[in-house]
Structure 1
Amino acid sequence: DRNERPAYNRGERTERPSYGDRNERPAYNRGDDRNERPSSGDRNERPSYNRGERTERPSYGDRNERPSYNRGERTERPSSGDRNERPSYNRGERTERPSYGDRPARQGDPRQASRTDRPARSFDDRPKRSFEERPARSYDDRPKRSFEERPARSSDDRPKRSFDDRPKRSFDDRGTSDASRGSDYYPKRDAGSYTPQDDVVLERLEADAIQAADVEGVTFESLGLGGNIVRALAELGAASPFPIQAATIPDVIAGRDVLGRGRTGSGKTIAFGAPLVEKLMENGGGKNRKPGRKPRALILAPTRELALQIDRTVQPIARAVGLFTTQIYGGVPQGRQVGALQRGVDIIVGTPGRIEDLIEQGRLDLSQVTVTVLDEADHMCDLGFLEPVQRILRRTSPDGQKLLFSATLDKGVAALVNEFLPNPSVHEVAGEDQASSTIDHRVLVVEHKGKDRLIEELVNRTEKTLVFARTRAYAERLAEQLGMAGIPAVSLHGDLNQARRTRNLEKLTSGRVNVLVATDVAARGIHVDDITLVVQADAPDEYKTYLHRAGRTGRAGKIGRVVTIIPKARRRRMTEMLDRAEIEAAFDDAAPGDQLVEDIATA
């Protein structure tokens, strides 16, 4: 109850009236002479509040009754319905304008075509003449001839040209490739000097070709390898050396630069890995190991998969003599790699991109590297790693040993050979042709609509199969399609992170799945035992890619088969590619459900 609340030293408080009745409220020092304010319900009864006496304002219902408000007397304005009755408003008296239809033509009107009042002109009196009255011209008497009577134009009258005596050839005489094309423009190459692989390095340097018969009875001990290394090789399944190994191991141990060419699956990894470890053992091996020691050997590979594959072969050999290896490649955090370098390693296996990154960060020093290996050098050049590889090699010891191995030694490798291998020992394996190979090649010509179904029938088998696709999207879609068809399959391509790529490859290696669908990232360096069939869902664009894809099967003398699926329009191009790779393959028309497809799958 506010009325009973004390004043709190504000003095005696008067009773505050309630606000229920506003008329009883006091004026609060406004004076008592305030006029009673009328309610707002009736505006006509409201006083003017010192504005003077206000006249009654008429309503606006009738505009004619509205006063003029000092505008003067206004004349009555006619309605606009009848324009003829509208006054002229100070324009003067206006005559009635006739319509244009009844308007008479005026004489001398410049718009009239038949004017008679214009002045005479000089040519008005000139008589008009017809076409027949024109004067005769020189060509009027020339007889007219039709197009059919026109004589054929002869080339005998034109001046003689330099190429007129060149013999003409028909289109049928033209070969399918430059190597077999008979032409006066391009003379045929000598069969003895032309090499389909375009090994320009081997054309300049004489290669020592080693036959398979030359290594009969040769052992790793006789090549100069120590006992621990020989036992490690035996555990890896290498009981005796392959031809490329027997040819290169003595030169590597002797300290010479080596340039080796051998097809994929010929044993190049052991050919440089085993003598590399032997060289480091001769230079002190694992004695006096200190934390943070700098690496003394470097192995460069074009892809992460190949780097891991090389490390799986070299690491057991190095551990057998107390040496340590590490892998350096992109696509993963560099913390583990930097930690391994800080602890100290002897051999580095990696890709050029990440290695150069660590060099620029100051975390990797290659000044003490005495042995450098370039594996698949041609592929590194194709991927654009030529300049990074050159910068890396310049950071190694100037007197260091250089080993270069590749399936082909083409023009991309020539720059590296000219700068870093001035006098190499060149080796190649002789007799590596289809006659001595254990791989059967086939080409199936199919319709596009039945391609995926035919692939399902080819890979529906119990043995391991590798399928190559051109794009990552097609590889992923094909793997999903095979899985939906009840055929367990995994994919391998560049869009996958390194952990998933390693996991999918391990599934194929362990046998949990039998089909791997991959892009060309798996064409080099992927070694999986017992791959008996390679299916090329998309044909490669060049012969070198074909050779590396085919090298995933038939490794180490085992039997394999390569099946390439092409449309009819690609038949000629496929023939040229096989000729360039020196491979003979049977072309067969196939469709899903054919007996030929079943025979290939179950062979």
Structure 2
Amino acid sequence: MTQRKKRGYKAPGNYEPYRGKKPRRFARGEDPAPRGGADPRDENAGRKSASRDEPAGRKSAPRDERRPAAGSKRTQRGERSSAPAPSRAGRPAKPAEVREPRTTSSPPPHQRSARVFTFGADGEPGPQSSARGSDRTIPADASFAELGLGGNIVRTLGELGADRPFPIQSATIPDVLAGTDVLGRGRTGSGKTIAFAAPLVERMLHLKASGAFAADAAPHKSKAPLKRGERQRGTRARTRNPKALILAPTRELALQIDRTVQPIARSVGFYTAQLVGGVPIDPQIHALERGIDIVIGTPGRIQDLVQRRKLDLREVLITVVDEADHMCELGFLEPVQRILRDTVRGGQRLLFSATLDRDVDAIVEEFLRNPVVHEVASEAPEDTRHRVFVVLREHKDDVLVQLARHRRRTIVFTRTRAYAERVAGMLADAGVRSVALHGDLKQAVRERGLAKFSEGKADVLVATDVAARGIHVDDVELVVQADPPDEAKTYLHRAGRTGRAGNRGEVITVIPRTRQKRTREMLDEAGIEPEVFQDFVPGQQL
């Protein structure tokens, strides 16, 4: 019968924790603690056997002899003694375990060369910038295979329509494969997504081959304690945590990135997950429970999943921040910093954008180590026509309908969501197949509208600036700016929806008479000389 006292539970006298199991006996002088750690049961059995092998009549040392010798110092509370613990029953002391340092951690401060990248007002590196350019010499006609990508990835890129690398891809892929932090700047449509997606997957293959992902294969036992008489029915595989993270400012851009990364990753056995807001969270949680290698998402939803303890970023070795400047403009600077601090310290960081300015200095200074900078001309492509039409207020609706019928596939940009809905309805009433895309729509509606436009079921996409970055639709022939942008950066991103991947495009900006001076200043800042800057009336020949 058990007895209970105030100080806790006392086991009965006939209690035998390993009843029915024969303890292992060790020969005299044999080390009962094998290499790699001993089972607690065997260790206790070793103590019993050692005590039984002692000569008869020999007693343990008196209590006074167990005390430290005179002059020795006792360890304070919470302080560990550097001397090895004395052995019990003649058993040699177990050597202290030595942990090898992690290869993914950042070097000590005295070995780390801090590099701060400072951009000037024009987006160029300032005089105090210590960021370096790449010293690699890559042939101008190098293929993806010559840049270091494997056969499966090269074949998948060919299926995606990327037969030869663009300049930004040729410049950044070797440095990403080498594990270097990269700052990449290139105009929209220059192939930045493939520039970080393809080498990221190849880099993960190298890390996996070197043993960086060894923890994924180690099974672990269930944390639930076993009751008396129960047996461990086996082990289950450890949930595979992500090793790479790609951050995007908007849901559309995250989905666009996933459409490129997913086939590349699947070609070599990696899996991706889209973690964006505006959609149910349960399917995303289930995907994480099944195991994910690459996470692509927005900062808000990723932070939410981290706080719910459903997403573990402590094994993320490579992090990509796409459209880093726009991320800061939307107020995501602090969330991005918190997310990056949850990843492996000293991991590889890649920042890509069409424009890099002072807003990203905080991220570069804290997280990037000696980054390599690659810049491609950020101005609009030469094969894109730019025209500005000065239109009276009462003629604007008729002009927009005429421009929507001018080309087969057109994107119309507006400043507000309400005006986007009004223009889409007006074009539909005029017999033009159009869809709207803005932030007030549910994510499923936005995806359906974008799919209709991409598949050719709608000729015109009326959108706010939510579609100005990262949205890639093949063969967009015309971009109409129903509301002129306020910044040259926004103009370049809008104009980048056409004339992509070497195709020809056209950009028409509709402005009132009161915006002529501001528009000219904006175009000068963007480095664009429009072919036409004139008055326009409905019915006039385009």
Report if aligned partners of 1:206, 1:426 keep a CA contact under 8 Å in 2: yes
Deviation of 1:280 (Å) = 0.9
Deviation of 1:526 (Å) = 0.6
1 CA distance for matches of 2:128 and 2:448?
Answer: 43
Local SS of the residue matching 1:540: coil
> Aligned partner of 1:424: which letter?
P
Indicate which of 519, 522, 533 corresponds to 2:478.
533
Report if aligned partners of 1:328, 1:348 keep a CA contact under 8 Å in 2: yes
Report if aligned partners of 2:410, 2:480 keep a CA contact under 8 Å in 1: yes
Indicate which of 131, 142, 145 corresponds to 1:221.
145
Q: 1:202-261 CA distances to partner (integer Å, 9 max, x unpaired)?
A: 9724564999x9753210111110000000000000001000000000000000000111
1 CA distance for matches of 2:418 and 2:282?
Answer: 31
2 CA distance for matches of 1:411 and 1:278?
Answer: 31
2 CA distance for matches of 1:534 and 1:215?
Answer: 35
Indicate which of 92, 103, 122 corresponds to 1:197.
122
- Asked if residue 324 in structure 1 is aligned to residue 249 in structure 2, the reply is no
Local SS of the residue matching 1:534: strand
Indicate which of 458, 461, 476 corresponds to 1:516.
461
> Aligned partner of 2:173: which letter?
I
2 CA distance for matches of 1:225 and 1:418?
Answer: 30
1 CA distance for matches of 2:338 and 2:261?
Answer: 25
- Asked if residue 299 in structure 1 is aligned to residue 246 in structure 2, the reply is yes
1 CA distance for matches of 2:462 and 2:415?
Answer: 10
Report if aligned partners of 1:207, 1:428 keep a CA contact under 8 Å in 2: no
Matched with 2:516 is 571
Deviation of 1:438 (Å) = 1.5
2 CA distance for matches of 1:339 and 1:324?
Answer: 13
> Aligned partner of 2:540: which letter?
D
Instruction: After TM superposition, list the pairs within 5 Å mapping 1:63-462 onto structure 2.
Output: 197-199=122-124, 204-205=129-130, 208=133, 216-284=140-208, 290=237, 292-430=239-377, 433=379, 437-461=382-406
Local SS of the residue matching 1:398: coil
Q: 1:424-460 CA distances to partner (integer Å, 9 max, x unpaired)?
A: 0111115x545x5221111100101100100100111
Indicate which of 417, 426, 429 corresponds to 1:481.
426
Deviation of 1:461 (Å) = 4.0
2 CA distance for matches of 1:201 and 1:253?
Answer: 28
2 CA distance for matches of 1:195 and 1:418?
Answer: 15
> Aligned partner of 1:260: which letter?
G
Report if aligned partners of 1:465, 1:532 keep a CA contact under 8 Å in 2: yes
Report if aligned partners of 1:210, 1:427 keep a CA contact under 8 Å in 2: no
Local SS of the residue matching 2:306: helix
Q: Go from structure 1 to structure 2 and tell me whether the alpha carbon gap of 1:392 and 1:446 turns closer, same or farther (over 3 Å shift).
A: same
Local SS of the residue matching 2:304: helix
- Asked if residue 591 in structure 1 is aligned to residue 521 in structure 2, the reply is no
Report if aligned partners of 1:215, 1:241 keep a CA contact under 8 Å in 2: no
Report if aligned partners of 2:131, 2:370 keep a CA contact under 8 Å in 1: no
> Aligned partner of 2:261: which letter?
V
2 CA distance for matches of 1:206 and 1:377?
Answer: 17
- The one of the two structures with greater contact order (alpha-carbon pairs below 8 A, sep at least 6) is 2
1 CA distance for matches of 2:186 and 2:516?
Answer: 29
Deviation of 1:197 (Å) = 3.3
Report if aligned partners of 2:272, 2:294 keep a CA contact under 8 Å in 1: yes
Deviation of 1:496 (Å) = 0.3
> Aligned partner of 2:417: which letter?
R
> Aligned partner of 2:412: which letter?
V
Q: Go from structure 1 to structure 2 and tell me whether the alpha carbon gap of 1:209 and 1:264 turns closer, same or farther (over 3 Å shift).
A: farther
Matched with 1:463 is 408
Report if aligned partners of 1:205, 1:426 keep a CA contact under 8 Å in 2: no
Matched with 1:47 is none
Report if aligned partners of 2:391, 2:513 keep a CA contact under 8 Å in 1: yes
Matched with 1:69 is none
2 CA distance for matches of 1:266 and 1:326?
Answer: 25
Deviation of 1:397 (Å) = 0.0
2 CA distance for matches of 1:295 and 1:276?
Answer: 13
2 CA distance for matches of 1:335 and 1:483?
Answer: 36
Q: Go from structure 1 to structure 2 and tell me whether the alpha carbon gap of 1:388 and 1:202 turns closer, same or farther (over 3 Å shift).
A: farther
Higher CA-based Rg: 1
Matched with 1:150 is none
Local SS of the residue matching 2:205: helix
2 CA distance for matches of 1:231 and 1:437?
Answer: 30
Q: Go from structure 1 to structure 2 and tell me whether the alpha carbon gap of 1:232 and 1:494 turns closer, same or farther (over 3 Å shift).
A: same
Local SS of the residue matching 1:341: helix
CA RMSD of aligned residues (A): 2.2
Matched with 1:97 is none
Q: Go from structure 1 to structure 2 and tell me whether the alpha carbon gap of 1:576 and 1:215 turns closer, same or farther (over 3 Å shift).
A: farther
1 CA distance for matches of 2:344 and 2:436?
Answer: 41
1 CA distance for matches of 2:440 and 2:483?
Answer: 19
Q: 1:353-394 CA distances to partner (integer Å, 9 max, x unpaired)?
A: 000011111111100000000000000000000000000000
Q: Go from structure 1 to structure 2 and tell me whether the alpha carbon gap of 1:537 and 1:210 turns closer, same or farther (over 3 Å shift).
A: farther
Q: 1:181-209 CA distances to partner (integer Å, 9 max, x unpaired)?
A: xxxxxxxxxxxxx9763345797245649
Percent of pairs with identical residues: 60
Matched with 2:57 is none
Q: 1:119-162 CA distances to partner (integer Å, 9 max, x unpaired)?
A: xxxxxxxxxxxxxxxxxxxxxxxxxxxxxxxxxxxxxxxxxxxx
> Aligned partner of 1:591: which letter?
V
Local SS of the residue matching 1:298: strand
1 CA distance for matches of 2:127 and 2:297?
Answer: 27
> Aligned partner of 2:533: which letter?
F
Please, what TM-score do these two structures have when normalized by structure 1? 0.64
Q: Go from structure 1 to structure 2 and tell me whether the alpha carbon gap of 1:209 and 1:534 turns closer, same or farther (over 3 Å shift).
A: farther
1 CA distance for matches of 2:130 and 2:392?
Answer: 46
Q: Go from structure 1 to structure 2 and tell me whether the alpha carbon gap of 1:491 and 1:416 turns closer, same or farther (over 3 Å shift).
A: same
Local SS of the residue matching 1:391: helix
Local SS of the residue matching 1:284: helix
Matched with 1:550 is 495
Report if aligned partners of 1:199, 1:411 keep a CA contact under 8 Å in 2: no
1 CA distance for matches of 2:369 and 2:289?
Answer: 34
Q: 1:69-99 CA distances to partner (integer Å, 9 max, x unpaired)?
A: xxxxxxxxxxxxxxxxxxxxxxxxxxxxxxx
Q: 1:285-318 CA distances to partner (integer Å, 9 max, x unpaired)?
A: 7996656211000000000000000000000000
Matched with 2:446 is 501
Local SS of the residue matching 2:345: coil
2 CA distance for matches of 1:198 and 1:247?
Answer: 19
Report if aligned partners of 1:196, 1:582 keep a CA contact under 8 Å in 2: no
1 CA distance for matches of 2:130 and 2:510?
Answer: 38
Q: Go from structure 1 to structure 2 and tell me whether the alpha carbon gap of 1:268 and 1:210 turns closer, same or farther (over 3 Å shift).
A: farther
Q: Go from structure 1 to structure 2 and tell me whether the alpha carbon gap of 1:280 and 1:451 turns closer, same or farther (over 3 Å shift).
A: same
Local SS of the residue matching 1:222: helix
Q: Go from structure 1 to structure 2 and tell me whether the alpha carbon gap of 1:198 and 1:433 turns closer, same or farther (over 3 Å shift).
A: closer
2 CA distance for matches of 1:517 and 1:203?
Answer: 43
Matched with 1:472 is 417
